[in-house]
Structure 1
Amino acid sequence: MTATCHITVDAAHTTGALDHAWRYIGYDECNYTYTPEGKELLAKFGALPDAPYYVRTHFMFCNGSCHGTQKFGSSNIYRENADGNAIYDFTYYDLILDTILATGNKPFVELGFMPEPLVDPKYKEQPELGGVNRYREVGWTYPPADYAKWHDFIGTVARHLADRYGSAEIATWYFELWNEPDIFYWHGTDDEYCMLFDYTEHALHEALPSARLSGPACTGIFLHNGSRTLMKTFLAHCRDGHNFCTNNTGTRLDFITFHAKGSWLPGNDTAAKSVPSVGSLVHQTELALDVIKEEGFADREVVISEADPDGWAAGGIADNPNMRFRNTEYYASYVAATYTRLHELCVSRGVTVRPLAWAFMFPQEECFSGTRTFSTQGIDKPVMNLFRMFAQLDDTAVTLNGDAEADPSIDRALIADFDEAAPTRYTGEGAQTVIAGLATRDTETNDAVHILLYSHCDDIDLHETHDIDVQINGLQPGRYQLTHQRIDHDYSNAHTRWLIEGSPKYPTGDQYEAIKQASTLHDFVPAQAIVVPSSNTASTDTSAQSGITLQFAMPTHAVSLLTFTRL
């Protein structure tokens, strides 16, 4: 792009609510929650001005050592004695939930996976298993041997939660049954998942009638894959199927979950270039919303309970060199572009969709190893600063238009060779550079206007500079302070500083402090006073207003937050 990008904001024209749909995060390893590093990161989210953030994590029902490791966790919430009698121990389960709450956040409770004493023992018959712990390898993915015992287990957990936290508090949480039951996380059939949901729903709502429960938490929906089949089967079952638990028709469904990823980057340390696709993630969401509408659930809230550039959080650069994007400003601009386009999709369809970022931190990892995280060794990545920008936006959107917005037809052309059952490698070459964003106004005081602009191209290796011309109309006359915060290669980017410091695996002392200082959200230019003349009224006739014009440059991968605060 060589021409100047023109952005126009009308601060006087509201377009509806902006509900901060990004306030959702998650991770596999439930035991990382209460580690010092985990608590530190959760506290950062809990301290954001739009907190609480909703926290989802796997393995909450599993048996094991109760020490977190990559892709596994445990709480030992349920065991049985030699006579088969239930033994409940909520020590670690409560510790995880208490930590989420104590850091200023809310639980997004995943009901899974299967406790070892409840698992159908068929998993032990798999001949290909050669490890020392078959339960840890695959047992937790199986259905229960006895659905009545699962019902009792869920009922006991629900009553414990009611006693400990109170039904009013729990009504503000989310509950979700299982994770990705269309793939290896579930070794039952689609009908058996529906059966599990029926027993779970009955037991949970018997103790907690106001709890919000969802399913099916399936993987990305394409035209011809198992996730689409499961979603249709599950929704039809909830609508008018035979309830396995009550023998009635249909099952209560409070909201709906599925996952969407922009790419799949497998383990291959010599992998050719591959990047995430914003368009593919949005495309999967559109296909899922089509199914939800077709099955009669268009009125339900939707949470994309994993909405990410790719599908393997624990993998790093050593596993696939394409994971490099996670350390950089690219990850921030990708999320900004994706979440903005999902918001636009919600507005156009009149639905509510909330994306959850499946990212956290890994204790003791090498610095900037490329895992999908918000921080590394306590040093925040650029993507964390994007959430600091998001959190500053107000709750009412105002008009923002530009001449470099996304063209869906270009997305369709670029991802046309994706196999609709399993996306293939995508390089991003030829992708559009999109410059767009969100603008909000504080309608309570009229004292602040925020404009979040991003520049993003899927091609990670495209490095251009774009001239930006922003016209802001509709500001109340008076004096304002203008601040301009920026995320790019040079600003709010600890990774760049880490490279300058020689890429130390475990930085210490002054070196560590220099890298960490670079991880905070920085101003692009010093704050300045702006005077809006009285002729620039709040009239809806913006053509008659002189407005304020700002000009600056943005790299291909960057995010800016402009804030006008009345003095």
Structure 2
Amino acid sequence: MVSISQEHEAKELRKWTNDFIKHCISGTNYATGKIGSPMDAILFHAKGSPKLVDGAVRMNMAPQLNDIQTGFNMAMSYPETKELPLIIGESDPEGCAACGMATNPENAYRNGTMYSSYTAASFARKYLLADKTKANFLGAVSWSFEFENQPWFYGFRDLATNGVDKPVLNVFRMFGMMTGTRLAAESNRMYPLEEVIKSSVRGAQSDIGVLATKDKKSAAIMVWNYHDDDKPGVTETANVTIENIPVKKVNLTVYIIDKENSNSYEVWKKMGSPQNPTPQQINTLEESGKLKSISTKKIKITSGKTILPVQLERQAVALVKLDW
């Protein structure tokens, strides 16, 4: 739900951005006195809006995707800007990186797997929006850092806490292994784009989605099990079918982020949530924050196809990597 003041602010921002683009196209350049100003790219921000509902965090991806759709459509509405690269300079679940969960309890999503699964599900939709609008989408930035000399797992929008990697950083590690070109990928449990733009992921079932890439000698498939509500859910089996594999044998590696893997936050809580961890505890936390592989093996490919079952807890993200 967007308040009237938020709607008004968003409308005014859209008008300002539109006016600015028009000025760059046909307005007077007050530096040169000529008409028009050069544009190399268009950059804008996009933010979601989590809140606390009955003591639990509820995410909201819809405002973020609406911001992106508006920016893409705006650029595509002018012949002079439709080919320009578009960069989402800040693309995040909400708007205050330095607001910890002590003052903003809705930001408790940041420490665990909710942040990582939201990131997977939302970043994938950016590519779908680019497909839909034909925008020249160059990339998006997560406006997140490491805040120095702060309490452990304080709930800032950061990728690490006191040098220990958080689950969300491992999603970006997964993205980093997805090289080459994006492939057509579909899931019978992935929420339609228009539904997520309208009302985020609020249905009875979670969003089990997919994003895939292929390079000369590799392929990578990311799958996730996401829902807006930070509540327990069933573990589900995603049967990942990969077709048109050009070789007879591949090296298969499966990476996963869930409660037991690639998750320093759960390990820290099991330690008793220490604010002054021992050197040994810090070593354990650092190790648990790394991206973990749960399976590495060679498999045979028959008729260019393989089917791999992947167990996904709610808010889990997995990456299936094939190398040949």
TM-score, with structure 2 as normaliser: 0.91
* Equivalent position SS for 2:255: strand
For residues 22-49 of structure 1, give each alpha carbon's deviation from its aligned partner in whole angstroms, at most 9, with x where no partner exists: xxxxxxxxxxxxxxxxxxxxxxxxxxxx
Q: Does 1:532 align with 2:318?
A: no
2:101 alignment partner in structure 1: 317
2:185 alignment partner in structure 1: 400
Give the letter for the 1:317 counterpart: M
Aligned counterpart for 1:306 among listed residues 84, 90, 99: 90
Does 335-344 or 469-478 show the bigger shift?
A: 469-478
1:549 alignment partner in structure 2: 307
The answer to whether the Cα contact below 8 Å between 2:189 and 2:208 also exists between their aligned partners in 1 is: yes
* Equivalent position SS for 1:402: coil
For residues 215-273 of structure 1, give each alpha carbon's deviation from its aligned partner in whole angstroms, at most 9, with x where no partner exists: xxxxx9989522111101100100101122222111111111111101166xx9x9965
Query: How far apart are 1:331 and its partner, in Å?
Result: 0.6
Q: 1:458 to 1:401 in 2, by over 3 A?
A: same
* Equivalent position SS for 1:552: strand
Query: How far apart are 1:347 and its partner, in Å?
Result: 2.3
For residues 489-514 of structure 1, give each alpha carbon's deviation from its aligned partner in whole angstroms, at most 9, with x where no partner exists: 21100000000011011322111111
Query: How far apart are 1:410 and its partner, in Å?
Result: 3.2
* Equivalent position SS for 1:400: coil
For 1:371 and 1:514, the matched residues in 2 are separated by 22
1:289 alignment partner in structure 2: 72
Q: 1:337 to 1:412 in 2, by over 3 A?
A: closer
2:11 alignment partner in structure 1: 225
For 1:471 and 1:222, the matched residues in 2 are separated by 46
For 1:394 and 1:496, the matched residues in 2 are separated by 30
For 2:86 and 2:39, the matched residues in 1 are separated by 11
Q: 1:349 to 1:495 in 2, by over 3 A?
A: same
Q: Does 1:481 align with 2:251?
A: yes
* Equivalent position SS for 1:471: strand
Query: How far apart are 1:431 and its partner, in Å?
Result: 6.8
* Equivalent position SS for 1:306: strand
For 1:521 and 1:402, the matched residues in 2 are separated by 24
2:124 alignment partner in structure 1: 340
Q: Does 1:370 align with 2:155?
A: yes
Aligned counterpart for 1:251 among listed residues 33, 37, 40: 37
Q: 1:490 to 1:401 in 2, by over 3 A?
A: same
Aligned counterpart for 1:434 among listed residues 207, 225, 235: 207
The answer to whether the Cα contact below 8 Å between 2:82 and 2:136 also exists between their aligned partners in 1 is: no
For 1:250 and 1:299, the matched residues in 2 are separated by 17
For residues 389-440 of structure 1, give each alpha carbon's deviation from its aligned partner in whole angstroms, at most 9, with x where no partner exists: 111112122232210122234335537xxxxxxxxxxxx6547522122222
Give the letter for the 1:226 counterpart: E
* Equivalent position SS for 1:481: strand
Q: 1:479 to 1:562 in 2, by over 3 A?
A: same
For structure 1, list consecutive stretches of 5 or more residues without a partner in the other structure.
1-219, 416-427, 538-546
For 2:307 and 2:193, the matched residues in 1 are separated by 29
* Equivalent position SS for 2:15: helix
Pair member with larger Rg: 1
Q: 1:413 to 1:250 in 2, by over 3 A?
A: closer
Which runs of structure 2 are paired with 1:105-184 in the superposition (5 Å)?
A: none
* Equivalent position SS for 2:212: strand
Q: Does 1:355 align with 2:140?
A: yes
Give the letter for the 1:339 counterpart: F
Query: How far apart are 1:461 and its partner, in Å?
Result: 1.7
For 1:565 and 1:477, the matched residues in 2 are separated by 10
2:3 alignment partner in structure 1: none
The answer to whether the Cα contact below 8 Å between 2:75 and 2:135 also exists between their aligned partners in 1 is: no
Give the letter for the 1:442 counterpart: D
Give the letter for the 2:158 counterpart: T
Query: How far apart are 1:332 and its partner, in Å?
Result: 0.8
2:173 alignment partner in structure 1: 388
Give the letter for the 1:440 counterpart: T
Give the letter for the 1:560 counterpart: A
Which runs of structure 2 are paired with 1:462-501 in the superposition (5 Å)?
A: 462-501=232-271
1:83 alignment partner in structure 2: none
Give the letter for the 1:350 counterpart: K
TM-score, with structure 1 as normaliser: 0.53
Aligned counterpart for 1:461 among listed residues 231, 234, 237: 231
The answer to whether the Cα contact below 8 Å between 2:114 and 2:315 also exists between their aligned partners in 1 is: yes
1:278 alignment partner in structure 2: 61
Q: Does 1:517 align with 2:290?
A: no
The answer to whether the Cα contact below 8 Å between 1:435 and 1:455 also exists between their aligned partners in 2 is: yes
The answer to whether the Cα contact below 8 Å between 2:90 and 2:143 also exists between their aligned partners in 1 is: yes
